[in-house]
Amino acid sequence: MTTPNEGDLKVWWVPQVPMKAFEVPVKDIDAAILILNTLADYDRFQLENNIKGDYANCGGLMVFHNGEWVEWEDADGEDINDIRAIIEAHGGG
């Protein structure tokens, strides 16, 4: 992975808590939402089709700010999971 620049974004996903997170760079919030929803749908598919047993997953979006990766929040203090919930509640996503 290249050295991050201020404002770079990356999705993180833990398919089974506790374990190391899978991380992937994303270009914007829309791409982050697509990837997070896809990973969640994939985990659900695996559970429903007996590919993996019961699990606990989690994920989010980080932004590179002041030389470190921090959880992304919008101007209202909402994180990516809040934004995804708002979109889904209004029929999107």
Q: Provide the pairing of β-strand 58-65 with 22-26.
A: unpaired
In this structure, the chain runs to a length of 93
Candidates 72, 40, 71; CA nearest to 56 is 40
Instruction: State pTM to two decimals.
Output: 0.81
Cα–Cα dist 18/37, whole Å: 20
Residue-wise pLDDT for 26-58, tens only, equals 999 999 999 999 999 998 899 899 887 777 888
> 67 pLDDT exceeds 90?
yes
Q: Which residues does 25 contact at the CB level (< 8 Å), separation at least 6?
A: 1, 8, 9, 10
Q: Hey, where are the domains in the chain?
A: 9-89
Amino acid (1-letter code) at residue 76: D
Mean pLDDT of 8-36: 93
